[in-house]
Structure 1
Amino acid sequence: MKKKGTFTLAAAMLISSMAGCGVKKNDRAGEEIYSSGMALDSVEIYDSITANGNCKALCKISVMYPTGNALVDDSVRAWIADRLAYSYEDNSTSAFTITPELQSNVPAMVKLACDSILSSSRRDFDSMKGFGINYTFDYTIDTVYTAPSYITYCFNSYCYLGGAHGGAMFQPATFSKADGTMLTWDNTIKCDDEQAVIALIKRELANQFFTPESGWTMDEGLLVSPDSIKLPVTPPLFDDDGLVVTYQQYEISPYAVGMPSCVLPLDSIAGDLTPTARAIVMPDDSEAR
């Protein structure tokens, strides 16, 4: 049975309820959450620090994670560790060391990520003598869609480090339940069909995102020429609507436009999918072939 989840791009907010420190697991004590055959659990941590009297950092991390021992469970937990370790400041440098033991203990991983973020914030504050600023970090990792053959997760983050506004990030990941393979653009779209899919994306962006209701045309809403649009850095997301394509803030458009996105129905790109992708998101069709 398919379960359709919803995902919301992170929005600017102050977390006024985050005074002190807390770690909370699933409220339904002793009860696991099951989603299309996968056992899941959840953990939420919130903490804050104050430094130099007038600098404050607030951190909240909420994670839904698998608890089983299948290959897909291991793949999802490894991805969660990677997202948390590379979520702040320099994406080329891990905030903490990822070990097999840590990957198997998601609550400990989440706490370490929160501690690392606040420690980094404290170092920033220590260099700001006589200057007051507030930081906010709000991270959520959750399922957005589950199907018999795959599960789709997403990492939503909002980070405010001063200035006019914060920044949001949306990073999805779709995993095969059979062997834990994670879909990327390289193993989802046939190389020879990439330009055809990009042309379809541009058409659907115009039809679904840059509409009269949005107040933006493609010419007004893009920082780049439509002719130069490429596949996004955001990995492909699959749900029951099809392939969801999302561009990050500033990737092709200014901050005010947000994250341009569109949905490509599966039947419109079925012929462009690699055998790997077809086996994961269209297993019945792949077997028929």
Structure 2
Amino acid sequence: MRFKIFVYAIIISLVSQTCKEEKPIEFKEVTKTTNSNNLVELNIPEAIGNESVSKAINHSISQLVISSLNVNDTNGIEPKTVEESIDLFNNEYAFFKTNFPDSVVPWEAQIDGDVMYQSADVISISMTSYLNTGGAHGNLIISFLNFNSQTGKLLKNEDLFEDYLAFTELAKTYFNEEIADKKDLYFEPDNFKLPENIGFDEEGIILLYNTYEVAPYSSGITEIHIPWEDLQTSLNFL
């Protein structure tokens, strides 16, 4: 009888531990700043739930924020936290004003993040950063981050597809349809390449080309949607 109780105790412990480990990932929006910050507005998703998975996801998000705020190579200084990168951005502006006191354009940075899609296999997050460091206009960049939902590992674009070449051909068709009546606005419209940013939403896949990636600043961002029904045989996930 004692042996049976011992076995049951082990089973219950294992089940309990498994349930704890498989706690689904959720997200909350967090705002980060510092006491000396006057220039940076930051609203980003923070993963909570499975500790190892959420830690991996949050690390990747933080690294993107740190990279986005890293201007002028920051004189070799490499911030390790988001808060350090915020203070460094403010310090860089103070240094700039010391050297160019007549500059009337204040620096600013705004970074926002949204969870575009989440399933048992993949989590897709959009990060939008706008920085103005005194130029003729600010710089808007949208970045997609795709994660393995089970591990929190940041996925490369190639990891998303069973047949990357087949998907490239499919994407090329959609791209050509999108720019058919404005090909003259693009740098090399007949030399197709996939964008750096490929993400998921509830309707399918988004291909996003940032400003200057395939067209001049005046053309803005190029965004192409491919519906799920055209993708099922191409994906490694979903």
Classify the TM-score, shorter chain: 0.7 to 0.9
Contact 1:71 1:178 in 2 (8 A): no
Residue 156 (structure 2) pairs with residue 184 (structure 1): yes
Alignment partner, residue 229 of structure 1: 192
Q: 1:71 to 1:221 in 2, by over 3 A?
A: farther
Residue 236 (structure 2) pairs with residue 266 (structure 1): no
1:46 shift after superposition: 5.4
1:156 shift after superposition: 0.5
Contact 1:86 1:93 in 2 (8 A): no
1:229 shift after superposition: 2.2
| TM-score (normalised: structure 1) | 0.64
Contact 1:85 1:95 in 2 (8 A): no
Q: 1:250 to 1:48 in 2, by over 3 A?
A: farther
Residue 205 (structure 2) pairs with residue 243 (structure 1): yes
Alignment partner, residue 68 of structure 2: 87
In structure 2, which of residues 176, 179, 204 is the aligned counterpart of residue 210 of structure 1?
A: 179
* Structure 1 segment 1-289 matched on structure 2, within 5 A: 37-45=24-32, 58-88=39-69, 89=71, 96-98=78-80, 109-189=81-161, 193-194=164-165, 196-207=166-177, 209-210=178-179, 217-223=181-187, 225-234=188-197, 236-273=198-235, 278=236, 281-282=237-238
Distance 2:55 2:112 in 1: 19
Distance 1:93 1:143 in 2: 33
What is the SS of the residue equivalent to 1:229? coil
1:48 shift after superposition: 9.8
Q: 1:93 to 1:263 in 2, by over 3 A?
A: farther
Number of residues of Structure 1 aligned to a counterpart in Structure 2? 215
Could you give the per-residue CA deviations for residues 200-237 of structure 1, whole angstroms, max 9, x where no partner exists? 22321343x437xxxxx3422212x2232212122x21
Using the aligned pairs only, state the percent identity: 20
Equivalent position amino acid for 1:227 in 2: D
Q: 1:95 to 1:75 in 2, by over 3 A?
A: farther
Greater RCO (Cα-Cα under 8 Å, separation 6 or more): 1
Equivalent position amino acid for 2:25 in 1: M
Structure with the greater alpha carbon radius of gyration: 2
Contact 1:142 1:153 in 2 (8 A): yes
Contact 2:113 2:128 in 1 (8 A): yes
Which runs of 5 or more residues in structure 2 are unaligned? 1-22
1:126 shift after superposition: 1.8
Contact 1:153 1:174 in 2 (8 A): yes
What is the SS of the residue equivalent to 1:272? coil
1:161 shift after superposition: 2.2
Q: 1:80 to 1:141 in 2, by over 3 A?
A: same
What is the SS of the residue equivalent to 2:161? coil
